[in-house]
Every structure is written in structure tokens, then in C-alpha cells.
Structure 1
Amino acid sequence: MKKQMRLDKYLAQMSIGTRSQVKQMVRKGQVCVNGTVVKKPEYKVDPDQDQVVADGVKTQYVHEEYIMLNKPSGVVSATKDPREKTVLDLIDGQKRKDLFPAGRLDKDTEGLLLLTSDGELAHRLLSPKKHVDKTYYARIQGRVTNEDVKVFLKGLDIGDEKPALPAVLQVLIEGEISEILITIQEGRFHQVKRMFKAVDKKVVYLKRISMGSLVLDETLMPGQYRNLTEEEIQRLKEEQNE
């Protein structure tokens, strides 16, 4: 059985306009389905088969959208904000209006952020029960030692009711400003910063480089983005179904 949907919903989901705007377009005769003008917003279309032209522009239905963003510092992980620039403000030509960030990065944190319309996948990626690895590169004010590695591996009290789960800490450079990789399986508020604060050190730079099987594309400069490949999408879905 073919899945059909209302014409106005189709157009609104493809970011042609708001639901009320596209209804007006349809009623004014600005929308054609398979070469025929349709003036009823409730008209049913098959998104996979029917050809829809809105105001002279051919549209192609996208069931879900998956975008990898190298989030820059100074941008908030939200769909809308009255005062701050959001990650969605960086995206030109998004296909679906229901795009949202799967998880959050602090305003001053850079790196991998998945923007998607796939709520089911995002939920599984973010579910504490799934224990999805999230790896960050960081520069730390203070000397990070093997003792810190052991402490992080045991789990750490960061001031919440429960200690943070064990984290894998790898020291890349030990010095007054240390460079490290850290892999966590949670997404608590300011978690990495609070973990280092608990051992009397301070995060001065933080960048997420991977989330599950998804690894930040090194060719993307901060603020740049690209669509996920079919292989990347498939791997994400497969590992969340395991």
C-alpha cells in the first residue's frame, strides 16, 4: 500500500513555506501535481511517485535528512534562539523544516554535531541505555598524568547524585597545557569540563571528534557541513539496532 500524504504537509515539510503559506499557494493555483494544477491543500500525493511543482520549482521529497556539521565556537546547539546564533542558522538550503541537532555541544565547544530529522535515530544515539561512545580532543590547563587516567577509568564524582560513568582518558601531550583524548558514554551538562574540574584542572579547548561510528570529516572547517553518506547512515542505524 502506497503511503500518501496531504499536499500542504508535503510542501511544508520540504520547507516551501509554513503550513498556512503553502495552503495559500495551493489555493492560488501555484502548485501542480503531475502537470495538473491542484487547488486543494488536502489533496493526497505519493511523495515517492508524484511530481510536485511549487511556484514553478520542482520539488523532490526527502524522507529524512542527515547533516554532519563541524560546529564552531560561539554558536548554540538549538533550532531557535532569540539572542544567539544557532547551528541551524549555519545551514543553507536544508531540505526539511524539522531538522534539529541530535544532542548538544556547549556554546564554546567545537566539533562533530549531527543535524537530522530522524527522531528515532537521534533518540537511540542519545539514550543512556545505549552507551554510545563520544570522543573529544581537549587542551587542559594543568598536567594530566597517568593517575588521572586511572581516576577517570574508575568513574568520577562531578557533583551529581551519581558519579560519572568510567571514561577512557588518553594523554597525548603532558605539560602545563596538556593535550588529551577522552571517551565518555554520557551527555551530562558540561560533563567533560566538570570531570577535569574534579581533578583540579581546567578545559581550555574542547572539540568532539566522534559519536558512535560517526567520525568528524577532517576536511570540514568550523562552520562547514555536508550530508552524511549512505554508508555512514547505514552504519549508525545498524549499530543502534544491535
Structure 2
Amino acid sequence: MNKMRLDKFLSNAGVGSRKKVKYLIKDGRVRVEGEIIKNPSFEVEENQKVYLDNDEIVPYHKVYIVMYKPAGFTSSKSEFERNIFEFINHPYLKKLHIVGRLDKDVRGLLLLTNDGEFTHKVISPKSKIEKEYLVRIEGKLTEEKIKMVERGIELKNGVKFAPAKIKKVNEDMISIIITEGKFHEVKLITKAIGLMYKEIVRIRIGKLKLEDFGLHPGEWVEVPYKKIRLALEK
């Protein structure tokens, strides 16, 4: 049976630093099952319940968050710009990272997790997981431009984009589906075919659709892996 030091258990669960949790333990505020434990090195078994005061502490686990990123916020933990982490109140906040960033002016579906393996699978071009964007444009999408995107585009600076899917949604909106996620890819594809983008929204990653979560810009929800794994299905 797996065991873990009590101070490490609390620290991993996001209660605080090792120094802080040792203070809490020695102060008699931590119980394992019904017993107050004052020894930080006490070994907690995996099925035992741990409490701080009267609150049960959820042990460290893999976290998956779906967020509706608003425009005007960076996908980073920048101290100099407003960022999406301002919206998230979660005990694992410091351990979370973004699964495929969105530009500051782009809004839509954003995933955050502490699961590095999941992130790699989603963002790796080898996985060929689709990311769909709605792009409000100025200009006209023609059959010739569609074929350019479907063949794959090479910019004058030598940057190449893999074949992507593109279609007309209405008179001023198109859908672009990519599997690479290179820097500014959707913007550069749009520009390369002679269109001007006015607004970009990511609406889907794999089979995860933003509309299925009922979120408004700035809102987020933690979801179980059995639901988040839809992002890995082609």
C-alpha cells in the first residue's frame, strides 16, 4: 500500500509550502481519520482521510479545466499583463499549465491541466488532433483559396503550414480546422489567402466543443478525465 509523509501530502494537495504545512501540523490543526497528528513525518496511507480543521483535504490528483478564454487576456502567468489565471481559483493553480495557448486577442476554448502527458498528446502535430476556429473576416473565400489551404501553405519566410480544412460559415465568417497549432497559424493562414481577420474564436479541440459547457467568457469548470479524453479522439 502506498504511503506518503503527512507534510508532503498536504503540500502536494495545495495547502501550502512544506514549511507552512509543518507549522499547521505541529499546531494540532491536522487530523488523519479521527486522530490529531503533530508529527510532519507521519505516513499517510492512500485510503486514509486527512482533515485540516474540519475541511477534508483532497489528495493530489490530475486536474483538467475547461475555460472560456475572454479576449484581452494573455495565456500566461505574466506579471506585466492581465492573464487568464486571474479568473481561476483552484488549489492547484500554481501547478496548472495551458494546453495550447491562444493569442491575447483571441477568445474561446482553453484547456488547463497538471497532466503533462495529456498536454503533449493534444498539442503534438503527430497526434493530428483537430482545433477548430471561427474567423470573422473581411474579403471573400473562393474555391481557389480553399484549395490553397487544403494543399498546405508556405509563407515567403519559409514557414510551412500543414494542409488544413477551411469552409464558409456565412458571408463574413469562415471555419478553419488545424492540427499543428504553430505560432499565429490561423492568423497567418487567413492573411496568406488574402483575407483580413476581425475576430477569432476557438470552438473545438478534438471532440470537445465549447458550446457543450455553457460557459461565458472568463468562466471555467473542472471536468473528469473521462470527459476531457474526448479531446484525444479523432
Corresponding position: 1:21 with 2:20: yes
> Do the aligned partners of 2:153 and 2:161 also contact (CA within 8 Å) in 1?
yes
Corresponding position: 1:235 with 2:233: no
Pairing partner for 2:67 from 66, 69, 81: 69
Instruction: Summarize the Cα distance change of 1:82–1:95 in structure 2 as closer, same or farther, 3 Å threshold.
Output: closer
Counterpart mapping for 1:28-177 below 5 A: 28-47=27-46, 49-78=47-76, 80-94=77-91, 97-159=94-156, 161-174=158-171
Structure 2 letter corresponding to 1:51:
K
Report the alpha carbon displacement of residue 18 of structure 1 after superposing the two structures with TM.
Answer: 2.3
> Do the aligned partners of 1:33 and 1:51 also contact (CA within 8 Å) in 2?
yes
CA RMSD of aligned residues (A): 2.1
Identity, % of aligned positions: 36
Which residue in the other structure is 2:204 paired with?
Answer: 210
CA–CA distance in 2 between the matches of 1:214 and 1:24? 43
Which residue in the other structure is 1:182 paired with?
Answer: 176
Structure 2 letter corresponding to 1:227:
E
CA–CA distance in 1 between the matches of 2:120 and 2:39? 35
Range with bigger deviation, 109-118 or 139-148:
139-148
Instruction: Summarize the Cα distance change of 1:29–1:159 in structure 2 as closer, same or farther, 3 Å threshold.
Output: farther
Q: Deviations over 1:131-150 (max 9, x none)?
A: 11110011012222222111
Report the alpha carbon displacement of residue 229 of structure 1 after superposing the two structures with TM.
Answer: 4.6
Aligned length: 233
Structure 1 letter corresponding to 2:15:
I
Report the alpha carbon displacement of residue 230 of structure 1 after superposing the two structures with TM.
Answer: 5.2
CA–CA distance in 1 between the matches of 2:8 and 2:101? 28
> Do the aligned partners of 1:62 and 1:96 also contact (CA within 8 Å) in 2?
no
With normalisation by structure 1, the TM-score equals 0.87
Report the alpha carbon displacement of residue 212 of structure 1 after superposing the two structures with TM.
Answer: 1.1
Q: Deviations over 1:87-122 (max 9, x none)?
A: 222112445642221110111111111111211111
**Partner SS state of residue 153, structure 2:** coil
**Partner SS state of residue 121, structure 1:** helix
CA–CA distance in 1 between the matches of 2:111 and 2:168? 27
Q: Deviations over 1:150-209 (max 9, x none)?
A: 1100101235544100010011123xxx20111001111111111112123221101111
Q: Deviations over 1:48-96 (max 9, x none)?
A: x111111332212252111110110111112x21112222221124456
> Do the aligned partners of 1:75 and 1:87 also contact (CA within 8 Å) in 2?
yes
CA–CA distance in 2 between the matches of 1:123 and 1:77? 17
Segments of 5+ residues of structure 2 without an aligned counterpart are none
Report the alpha carbon displacement of residue 41 of structure 1 after superposing the two structures with TM.
Answer: 2.5
Report the alpha carbon displacement of residue 13 of structure 1 after superposing the two structures with TM.
Answer: 2.5
**Partner SS state of residue 217, structure 1:** helix
CA–CA distance in 1 between the matches of 2:209 and 2:2? 34
CA–CA distance in 2 between the matches of 1:138 and 1:235? 24
